[in-house]
Amino acid sequence: MIWRNGIRFHHHLQRNWRRLLCLGLLGLAIFLVGWLLLNTLRLQTAASAPVDTVFVLGGSIRREVYAAEFAKEHPQTRVLISQGSEPPCILLVFQKFKAPIRQVWLEECAESTFDNFYFNIPLLRQWNVRNVKLITSPTHLPRAEWMAQILLGAQGIWVEVTPVEELGIPGNQESWLKTGLDVTRSLIWAVLSQVIQPHCSQLTPLTDVDLAVWQKLDFKCENQWWLRLE
C-alpha cells in the first residue's frame, strides 16, 4: 500500500512539474511576443525620427572624413567613433573640414565589429538614441549591417547604414563563416544586453585631444596624401 502511494505521489509530482513547465513556457512565449510587438512599434516611431547620432565603425580614415562632413552640415548631431584612427588624426580631419567637435566622442575599447556594438550599446541607451546613421565600408557588409539591425534594433534603435568607399586595400576581410558566427552571437547578445551593460573606460571627447601632447609622441596618420593631414 505504501509502495502504491509512493508511485501515485511520484506521478502527481511529475504532472505538477509538467504543468508548471508548460505554464512557464507559455508565459515566456507571451512575454516575447509582447516584447517583439512593443519593440516593433518603437522601431517604427524611431524610423520616422531624424538621425540623432552618427555611429562610425573604425577601420578607415575615409569613414571619419564622411563623419566630419556630416557633422559640418548637422552640427547638433552627436558623433560616436568606435576604435577609429589615432585621436589626433581624427581631430585633424575635423579641423580640415571645419567641422564642430564638441559633439564628437572617441571610444577605444573595441577590438572587433562585435565589440563596436558590445561597448557602445550602453552609451547609446544612456544618450536615449533612437535613430543611428551607421558609417562603415561596402566591404564590411552585409555583416556589419545585420549585426547593427539585430543588436541596435533590440534596443528600439533604428539603423540607417551608409557605406563609404575605401581607397586602397580594405581594413577588414569578410567571409560567410565570420558573418554566421557574428550574427549568431549577436542574436544571443540582443537578449543579454537588455540586462547586462558593459562599461568602456576609454571614452574621450574629441575636445579633450591635445595635439601638442600627441606631437611629442610622433604620431602617424593613415597614408592618404589627398588629406594632407601632416
Residue carrying C-alpha cell 547586462: 196
Indicate the pTM of the whole model.
0.84
- Report CA Rg, the chain: 24
CATH number at residue 151: 3.40.50.620
Residue 34 lies in a domain: no
Number of folded domains that form the chain? 1
d(CA 113, CA 183): 11
Asked, for residue 48, whether it belongs to a domain, the answer is: no
In a domain? residue 37 = no
Residue 39 lies in a domain: no
pLDDT at residue 225, as a whole number = 46
In a domain, 160, yes or no: yes
Which of 40-54, 67-81, 92-106 is least confident?
40-54
Q: Beta partners for 204? A: 106
Q: What is the pLDDT of residue 169?
A: 57
At position 151, the amino acid (one-letter code) is L
Say how far apart CA 192 and CA 196 lie, in whole Å: 6
Average pLDDT of the chain, as a whole number: 85
Whether 6 has a pLDDT exceeding 70, the answer reads: no
Q: For cell 550602453, name the residue.
A: 122
Average the pLDDT over 203-219 and give the result. 91
What local confidence, expressed as pLDDT, does residue 63 receive? 94
Residue 215: pLDDT band with limits 50, 70, 90: confident
Domain that holds residue 116: 53-227
Find cell 566630419 and name the residue.
68
Q: Is 40 among the domain residues?
A: no
φ, ψ of residue 23 to 5 degrees: the values are -65, -40
Whether residue 28 is contained in a domain is answered as: no
- For residues 229 and 37, the model is more confident at 37
Asked whether residue 182 carries a pLDDT value surpassing 50, the answer given is yes
Q: Give the mean model confidence (pLDDT) for residues 103-120.
A: 96
d(CA 229, CA 150): 36
Rounded mean pLDDT, 125-150? 95
